[in-house]
Chains A and B, each alone.
Chain A
Amino acid sequence: MRRSPLHATRAGVGGAWCLALGLVPLVCENPFVLAFVLAAEVGVALLAGLRRPLLTAVKWGVPFALVVALINVLVTRDGATVLFRGPMLPWAGQVDFTFEALVYGLVLALRIVAILLVSVFFAAAVDADELLRALRRVSVRSGVTAALALRLFGVLRRDAARLADAQRCLPGAGVSRLAVLHAVTTGALDRATDVAATLEVRGFGTGVRPPRMPRPWSRHDVAFALSACGLVVVAAGVLVGAWGGFDPYPRVSAPVDWVGVAVLACAWLPFLDRRGL
């Protein structure tokens, strides 16, 4: 049994759905819409059983996003509402920290986190093998490289964990992260050779393109395809200015926009039908 409808969806549709969900924060700056997008993503993580990857992404992504927000406050000279009057610098003039720059920095941070979370869904729930297979149908060599890299990454990560464990197997011995890193990196070539040998004896080097594997569209394929279409429509509407308007400067203008509810609905609805997992 697959973990969620997203896991059960064919890779092409699942990947397209992730891209569509990521498209909304990519084109939209309205903080209300972005808040809905984030809420939708948290809900998706819970519905898809991806709570742990979500927390990991938040742990790394939020500090990074806040740094971006801070940098925006420091470097932007626009905005009418001065929060703090800084020094006069000969090369930059009067340095002011404005409310508008802060808001726009936070909007940037929201967009970064939202896009990061979508990439987490993509990595965790979309079948990479199926995507690689599709890639091999287009370009065999790229498929080889991607398959080797993808597989090797996992092998090396497990190697590092094992090596670190092995360091603790003697009484009183500690773990030297540097030694483990050194061993993993110097062993990467050997491991790559092993994996490549397996690829060879499985016939990868023949360069044959994999056949098209037709299969009927499941209810989840259809649901996520429709959802992706809805999300693309929302993004297109934002792009043409139909909704999701936002002007940070000179004064923040962020009309309350309920198109975010549509994003929420599009993102969550496909998860409600859990038949056929």
Chain B
Amino acid sequence: MLRVSGLTYWYAGADAPALADVSLRVGEGELVLLAGGSGSGKSTLLRAAVGLVPHFHGGTFGGQVVTGGLDTRSHGPAALAAVAGTLFQDPETQVVMGTVRAELAFPLENLGWSAAAVARGVEEAALALGLGALLDRPTHELSGGELQRVALAAALAGRPRLLALDEPTSQLDPVAGDELLGVLRRLNEEWGTAILLAEHRLERCLPAADRVVELQGGRIVADAPPREWLARTRATPAAQLFSRAGLAGAPVTVKEARRELARAGWRAPAPPAPAPPAPPSPAVAPPAALASPAPAPPHGVLARRRARREAALAVEDAWVELRDGPAVLRGVSLHAQRGERIALMGRNGAGKSTLLKLIAGLIEPTRGRVRAQPAALLTQHPGDHLLHETIGDDVPESELAARHPRDVSGGERQRSALRLILAAPADVLLLDEPTRGMDPARRDALAQRLTTRTGVTIVATHDAEFAAAFATRVVLLGDGRPVADAPPAEVLAGGWYFATQVARVLGGAGGALTPEAGARVLAAHGVGDADAGGEPAGASGDLAARRGAAS
């Protein structure tokens, strides 16, 4: 389906090749997962597979790429669209028509399908992605997650033989992300569509993958089945848990991990009762709490009232109601003391970004009030914060100070904007999906950095592993109001979707969220040996391993 032979590619004016001597074959019906850090060449490889490299991006191209029997040197992206569907990271620029129906029909019309076939293709793509209710909605009214689903449906509508997907779940909540991966799996298994998928959230995708191809510095450094690759890299929390607990093997799925643990003598306790909330015990406290413990919640009515009065951040019965639409926030009350680190979670459209904008003062509540110390907000588009001619104008100490923001990679832009916001003299720090598109090593470094802050930190995120690594408190938003507000061990250990992989493996036992805490829980139950595993070699998702380096 895809054959890449000796591909070397330089972007115009680049100092180093984005891809160097890459050779790869993807067979019919294969699902290949592309792994690797930011800037490793995953996106460029995907773009080469669909002909955008070199036809659209220029640069210097060596080697050969054959997609669906078409050589990309002689066939442009438009010709290749008949055999390859594409989905990039930014959904905003991937939707080109005014309504969802027109968007889905567009690629089919370009393929020369008849009117009846176009209509049928639109219906089927909409059904596959659950877009039936959105078909006549204007695309400019859709949320980021909805746009991503529409863009994927448009890529799928023509039933391509190869799908090239660049972090398709980066904008999606865990539920929508799992649903999307389910759709991809069905396409792959039932229609035989070959899929080339670049992702950072490996634990989600590995079970579906036939192979993992790891890129580093533009070169392929590994091409192996998921189990073999995972045994070497320990790149998922479950694999790290096994390593730390001194257990053999590297489970690919939660189910497999549970089965292995059962063989080792582990019996999952009954699911934890939702109430009453109990402070996490030191034995299973998340690393974030160990690094900089949050203030204990006050006891007594008067103490609580005083604490609210003295809170660094107070959102009181805040409503945000659209002029011609529904209420986005419905009576949200949130108080935070200095030193608290809050993970704001919830499905797409739950109101997370709106709440952050409200606290930052970008929007006014239609009812209620907000009292915040000076607040700094990193929006979902980090590049927006770098408005000047050079990055140095905004971040003088940056190693990229002399570069224009548009001349650096997306990851570098994201890191520069993060530095700008983290350096701001603000007591309240607000980050909106800061780990989107971020590799695990940088994600862990950011979590570590956040644990050293003394002010209030609120991060809207879909990433339960990241939340477990930095937060002292998790607020789960549902339909514009908080539906849970408790320590991470309580919220993330017992959930189905909003839960870390370790919590799902252990069934929420002991409130363990991270591999370290999970290993201690297992050891306490006489399973494995928490001291045996130590630091897993190459465990890219391991916070503790990075902590040493960071300090």
Q: Residues on A close to B: CB < 8 A?
A: 2, 52, 127-130, 133, 147, 150-151, 154-155, 158, 162-163, 165-172, 179-180, 182-183, 186-187, 190-191, 193-206, 208, 210-214
Contact = CB atoms under 8 A, between A and B. Distances in A.
A194 B110 contact: no
B292 interface: no
A9 to B, nearest CB: 13
Given A171-B424, A203-B81, A127 B98 contact: yes
B118 A202 contact: no
Contact of A168 (B79, B95, B361): B361
Contacts of B379: 162, 165-166, 169
B96 interface: yes
Contacts of A197: 52, 56, 77, 88, 93
Contacts, number: 147
A206 B110 contact: yes
Of the candidates B80, B110, B385, the one having the most CB atoms from chain A within 10 angstroms of its own CB is: B110
A269 B156 CA distance: 43
A167 B374 CA distance: 14
A211 B93 contact: no
A167 B110 CA distance: 40
A162 B425 CA distance: 22
B76 A210 contact: no
B109 A210 contact: yes
Contacts of A186: 406
Given A162-B379, A195-B96, A208 B385 contact: no
Nearest to B379: A166
A160 B106 CA distance: 27
B113 A201 contact: no
26 contacts: A52-B324, A127-B98, A129-B99, A129-B102, A154-B140, A158-B140, A162-B384, A166-B379, A166-B381, A166-B387, A167-B387, A169-B377, A171-B375, A171-B425, A186-B406, A187-B406, A194-B90, A199-B96, A200-B78, A202-B96, A202-B107, A204-B110, A205-B78, A206-B110, A208-B112, A211-B113
B550 interface: no
A9 B526 CA distance: 70
Contacts of A172: 374
Interface string B167-194: 0000000000000000000000000000
A169 B362 contact: yes
B454 to A, nearest CB: 16
Given A155-B92, A194-B93, A171 B56 contact: no
A200 B93 CA distance: 12
Given A147-B96, A154-B140, A211-B115, A202 B102 contact: no
Given A128-B98, A197-B52, A201-B50, 12 more contacts: A129-B102, A147-B96, A165-B357, A166-B379, A169-B360, A171-B426, A182-B387, A197-B56, A197-B88, A198-B93, A201-B77, A205-B77
B378 interface: yes
A154 B385 CA distance: 20
Contacts of B535: none
Interface in B97-131: 97-99, 102, 106-107, 109-115, 118-119
B109 A127 contact: no
B381 A162 contact: yes
A3 to B, nearest CB: 10
Contacts of B154: 202
B136 A166 contact: no
Interface string B359-389: 0111000000000001111110100110110
Contacts of B107: 202-203
A204 B78 contact: yes
B97 to A, nearest CB: 5
Nearest to A212: B115
Nearest to B98: A129
B455 to A, nearest CB: 11
A204 B425 CA distance: 48
Nearest to B87: A201
A190 B406 contact: yes
Nearest to A213: B115
A202 B81 contact: yes
Interface string B62-86: 0000000000000011111110111
Nearest to A137: B109
B325 to A, nearest CB: 12
A200 B56 contact: yes
A166 B420 CA distance: 12
A54 B83 CA distance: 46
Nearest to B103: A129
A205 B96 CA distance: 14
Given A163-B384, A163-B387, A169-B377, A200 B362 contact: no
Contact of A198 (B96, B374, B384, B387): B96
B509 interface: no
Contacts of A151: 96-97
B52 A200 contact: yes
A213 B117 CA distance: 11
A154 B140 CA distance: 8
A170 B426 contact: yes
B94 interface: yes
Contacts of A195: 93, 96
Contacts of A187: 406
B362 A208 contact: no
B387 A180 contact: yes
B115 A214 contact: yes
Contact of B385 (A2, A150, A166): A166
Contacts of B109: 133, 208, 210-211
A15 to B, nearest CB: 14
A163 B381 CA distance: 9
A208 B107 CA distance: 10
B421 A201 contact: no
A198 B421 contact: no
Contacts of B426: 170-171
Contacts of A170: 376, 420-421, 424, 426
A51 to B, nearest CB: 9
Contacts of B111: 203, 206, 208
Contacts of B114: 211
Contacts of A202: 81, 96, 106-107, 110, 154
B78 A203 contact: yes
Contacts of B98: 127-129, 150
